Structure 1
Amino acid sequence: MSLAIPPDPELDRDTVRTAVAAGNIPCLLPVLYQLTGEEKWLSPPYVPTPTKGYEEHNDGGFDPQIQAEIRDAVTDAVLDWCNGKPIAHPAPAGAELARLMSTVMGEPVSEHYSPMIAEQLGFTPYTPTDVGSTIRSTRQDFGVVVVGAGISGMTCAINLEKAGIPYTVLERNDRLGGTWWENRYPGARVDIPSDLYSFSFRPKNWSEHFARRDEIFDYVSDVADEYGITDRIRFGHSVDTAAWDENEQHWVLSVTGPDGEKQELRASALVTAAGLHSTPNVPDFEGATDFHGQIVHSAQWPEDLDVRGKRVAVVGSGASAMQLVVAISDQVESMVVLQRQPQWIAPNENYFRQTDDSKNWLFDHIPFYRGWYRFRLYWLYTERTYAALPVDPNREEKGKLVSSLNDAYRAYLTSYLDSQTAGDEKLRRKTLPDYPPFGKRLLIDNGWFTTLRKPHVELLTDNIARLTPTGLVTADGEERDIDVLILCTGFQQQRFLFPMDIRGREGTSLRETWDDDNGRAYLGITTPGFPNLFFLYGPNTNPPGGSYITIAEAQVRYVVEAISRLVTEDLSSIECKPEPYERYNAELDEANSTMVYAMDGVNSYYRNSSGRVVTNSPWPVADYWARTERPDPADFTATKRRIG
């Protein structure tokens, strides 16, 4: 990624100096070391102070004299590079890379993270095994079907393309993008910094720190076109059933096309990329058929819906509700928000901030700078978050509710909530969660508290009991007249791959194997009894923090290498053995039981109807990356291909 920047011998000192003056010093220090090879830039007095919260920390905590010295040295090093001086350390790894990561954060970072970060920053990018020539010569009938053209499906298609593996992507929608095509409600934007919520192999100069939905959709569309996968997607195609044919050793899919016509497709391997947030959860309210107004789900937003001057009710107070409520609050006549449970909300000064031109200039002209900026975001939004999730087993004797760090988050977030609700004790009581931070996803304040304090906005902590022709009635008997009911009620996250009917060996139903909402898979990717079937964003792969795209790239690497093995070893099938599957899931459930989101009294979509955590991974992202680095042949039963 970073090495793709060509040196520009036409750059002048004033231009470079001006840009570097606006740069983040903790990210410039490893750049300086890589360009010059000078060890002194990794030692005192050039070690930044640790970052507090999510602050930019551009000065690194240095006094003005040290800041000036570093920025002048970076300017000199960049100009030397532009004039032909070789890069001293173009691809750091291992302990050297760990030193650079520690420098960026001003705190120790273990070498354990080096392999993943080296790949993510482009020092050792993943390159799939190219099996195209073998397929063309000996396996002309070999092909893969990918179900879904969201982030995961796109990542898979791009790497299958690189590997020379024939594939077809089936997408039920008319456009690609998955979540970022379906969620077009007002105010929709990412809640992970844009520079982290993007493919590691395809950076972009974003217009905002937290990009809006349209810019993200345009980005994924551009990536699909650039990598040549758009023409391989069949839009408007829904997979109804998929069955393993034991005699022919392939999958047989029944597909409904755009005009309702039924088709049958065959695939040597099947990859599902249907996503976690794909099937809306739509409550069945009593009286809904008699309601004269309009009912919409946030993920099914009608393009012609006009809420101006309308009386609106919003069910939910999660991420989508927060974004939507704030976005439309000044358009409506009145609004009532029905909150089942309050959320922990954190401030972030960059949430609505435009990206400075100087930042993008540094990305485009300073080698490695974009990568280190991305790493810094990864650490703040992923590793820092994870550290607050495990429950301290000795918390009671220490006088802690969860752990020292989680309790500190609670105190900080409560203090912020107090500042936002000052003078309105009733609103404070309604919006203060009674469960620990990170029991649910931590949300970013986009003006939520300010909006709830507007005179025409009302917050009710109750459920809808029934609808009437003109409005709603809550469980406590409160009645409100409304014109539009907006459902921010989430998705059926526990019912992986619903409503597809997938059947493996001997006609075994995957949905019955999973008891409908109790999905289990080895690494979240594969399940015994279902050969050549691979899941992306499958059971227990929701990351404990940060960007899911990092997880998607790790899973795709594993899946593409597993599929390539079918070709390189001339196999008809590989199937996960029961032993690693059982061992992994026992370890996973034990680890999940120690996390804050599994504590008594914490309820979220993370759990299924029996209380088991089915969506979340309990491990740090780097640990999951290491587990999925390469498929272990010992974990699979392999069947040689029959010829003739």
Structure 2
Amino acid sequence: MPEYGVDAAYDRGDTVCVIGAGMSGLLAIKNLCEYGFKVDCYEKDSGIGGSWNITQRRSPMYANTHLVSSRTQTEFPDFPMPDDWPDYPGHKRVLSYLERYADHFGLRDHIWFGSEIERIEKADRGRFDVIVKPTSGSAARRLRYAAVVIANGHNWNPFVPEYPGQQAFRGEIIHSSSYADSSRLRGKKVLVVGAGNSGCDIACESATTADRTWHSTRRGYWYTPKYLFGRPSDQLSQRMSWMPKGLRHKVTEYVIRRVGGDPTRFGLPRPDHHMHQSHPIVNSHILHHIGHGDLEPRPDIARFDGRHVVFTDSSTAEPDLVVLATGYRPSYDFCDPELLGTTTGDDGFPRLFAQMFSPSSETLSVAGLIQADSGIFPLVHWQTVAIAKWLRIRASDPERAKQFRDRVVTEAGTRYTDGKMNDSPRHRLEVSHDLYLDSLARIIETLDKESDGA
């Protein structure tokens, strides 16, 4: 296209383009290569790891970030984390794990660092033209690929809500993406907004560092401790997977109440939903800091008023610093919305079959666009296995591939959750680990049957 200063595309034949070299991109490279594809991966930053690489400009990591899913529930099925690692490794260990994974499977040879994707466009025979521009400012290139796997992550584009009077607030407001460590909180009065895992972590850090800390949340939540009966809580949940899901949820809620107590006693609203209807908050310290008077719970913000913040219960706070731990939104500026099933009012959230296949293109997939109630690393592994199997069948047996596609494309937008999941933007990507894993297993089994000629 003339607007990119690019004329004819350089044809890469049967090569697959992967966008992003974070966790999802690395898995895509490895599994595509195992199924015989040549792969070109483009990474905007200078190193691998994506969100887990705190040195990269778009990483949401802060110094004290740790996994909220335990090691054994997070590791890749074919590349375990070291047995002598702690139950909940920090971001440095996770990055080293991804680096060792990349080196073990020789993935770096497929990655072009400092390369930004400006545009992907449909070409002939289901292929895509990918316009790549080096971040150094060199001229863009147009390359033609057999397929594209988008793996650019969804935790780098901050969502910043707007409240009445916010622009005139005389304190400082930052998003949690700009939060590096607790030194920024020292000696200040701090308001943390948001009850996600990052918001709760930062609120707890502030409780031990700042002069005073308020924590604003919109509703009541279930706060799951990292340990139950001396074991990581997600391991205990996994051990109960044999139970009917209704019974399992009741038992889990009973245990949380017995361990943590009544949240209303701590000034928190009672949860208005069951545990499986909201993304789990895994934090062992919230109630501890509230009980010690170091953290003051508050409801949602009603408005800003000069130096003050007014909450919906008419109480006020006068913070020096407001940290908006209000999450992120997916961003695919390089891609036409219809390719991802995105429509007006979706807040940029794609609607994909099985959370990975484009509803309008057989050769476009998205890896890692999920949030789960346990570790997502193994889920994305099986996602990329399914993508690789699908592309291989499409290349080797187009008629069988069409039959499979006709069966599954109508399921775009299906939500793999237990019961009625909250329909807030924060939960659009939510999947139940077990339900989604079962779905991936069925997809892979079906693709295997297709490839066997069954």
1:531 aligns with 2:362: yes
> Is structure 2 residue 444 aligned with structure 1 residue 629?
yes
For 1:583 and 1:572, how far apart are their aligned partners in 2? 18
Check if 1:563 corresponds to 2:391.
Answer: yes
Q: How far has the Cα of 1:460 moved from its partner?
A: 0.5
Instruction: Give the whole-Å Cα distance in 2 for the aligned partners of 1:581 and 1:289.
Output: 47
TM-fit CA distance, 1:386: 8.9
Determine which of 587, 591, 596 is the counterpart of 2:419: 596
Counterpart of 1:194 (choices 42, 63, 71) is 71
Cα deviation, 1:406-434, whole Å, max 9, x if unaligned, reads 33333332233327x6xxx6525x24312
Question: For 1:235 and 1:472, how far apart are their aligned partners in 2?
Answer: 44
Deviations 1:348-379 (A, max 9, x none): 448999xxxxxxxxxxxxxxxxxxxxxx9987
Residue 264 in structure 1 maps to residue 264 in structure 2:
no
Match of 1:314 in 2: 192
Unpaired runs of at least 5, structure 2: 1-10, 54-58
Alpha-carbon distance between aligned partners in 2 of 1:486 and 1:223, rounded to the nearest angstrom: 34
Q: Decide whether aligned partners of structure 1 residues 273 and 381 sit closer, same or farther in structure 2, where only a CA change above 3 A counts.
A: farther
Q: Which residue of 1 aligns with 2:22?
A: 150
Q: CA deviation at 1:219?
A: 1.4
Amino acid at match of 1:499: D
Quote the residue 1:335 is aligned against. 213
Q: TM-score, normalized by length of structure 1?
A: 0.59
Alignment correspondent of 2:6: none
Secondary structure of 2:392 counterpart: helix
Compute the displacement of 1:216 (Å): 1.0
The alpha-carbon distance between structure 1 residues 303 and 575, as it changes in their structure 2 partners (threshold 3 A), is: farther
One of 353, 358, 361 as aligned partner of 1:522: 353
Quote the residue 1:581 is aligned against: 408
RMSD, aligned α-carbons: 3.8
Task: Give the residue type in structure 1 aligned to 2:149.
Answer: V
Aligned to 1:274: 152
Q: 2:203 aligns with which of 325, 329, 342?
A: 325
Q: Per-residue deviation at 1:568?
A: 4.5
1:408 to 239, 251, 261: 251
Q: 1:281 touches 1:489 (CA, 8 Å); kept in 2?
A: yes
Using structure 2 for the length normalisation, give the TM-score.
0.81
Mapped to 2, the partners of 1:555 and 1:604 lie a distance apart of 24
Deviation at 1:530, TM superposition (A): 1.0
Whether 1:384 and 2:227 are equivalent positions in the alignment is: no
Alignment length, in residue pairs? 434
Q: Is the 8 A contact 2:337 2:343 kept in 1?
A: no
Q: Where do residues 83-482 of structure 1 align in structure 2 (5 Å cutoff)?
A: 141-181=13-53, 182-205=59-82, 206-246=84-124, 249-259=126-136, 262-302=140-180, 306-349=184-227, 380-382=236-238, 384=240, 389=245, 403-418=246-261, 427-428=266-267, 430-466=268-304, 468=306, 470-482=307-319
Change (3 A) 1:578 1:204: closer
Using the TM superposition, give the Cα deviation of residue 518 of structure 1 relative to its aligned residue in structure 2, in angstroms: 6.2
C-alpha displacement of 1:245: 0.9
Distance between the aligned counterparts of 2:148 and 2:399, measured in 1? 13
Give the secondary-structure state (helix, strand or coil) at the position aligned to 1:203: coil
C-alpha separation in 1, matches of 2:362 and 2:438: 26
2:98 and 2:107 map into 1 onto residues whose CA distance is: 11
The residue number in structure 1 matching 2:323 is 486
Could you say which residue in structure 2 is the equivalent of 1:10?
Answer: none
Q: CA deviation at 1:527?
A: 3.1
What is the aligned partner in structure 1 of residue 56 from structure 2?
A: none
Q: Distance in 2 between matches of 1:546 and 1:523?
A: 18
Q: Which has the larger radius of gyration?
A: 1
For residues 264-294 of structure 1, the C-alpha deviation after alignment (integer angstroms, 9 at most, x for no partner) is 3322110112334443222134444444544
Deviations 1:593-612 (A, max 9, x none): xx3343xxx4544655xxxx
Distance 1:152 1:207 in 2: 22
Moved more, 376-385 or 310-319: 376-385
Distance in structure 1 (CA, Å) of the matches to 2:450 and 2:343: 24
Distance 1:563 1:551, change over 3 A: same
Query: What's the CA shift string for 1:243-270, capped at 9, x where partnerless?
Result: 1112x65211234432455443322110
Partner of 1:552: 380
Q: 1:566 to 1:603 in 2, by over 3 A?
A: closer
Give the Cα–Cα distance (whole angstroms) in 2 for the partners of residues 254 and 455 of structure 1.
Answer: 55
In structure 2, relative to structure 1, the CA distance for the partners of 1:250 and 1:573 (3 Å cut) is farther
Cα distance in structure 2, aligned partners of 1:573 and 1:526: 17
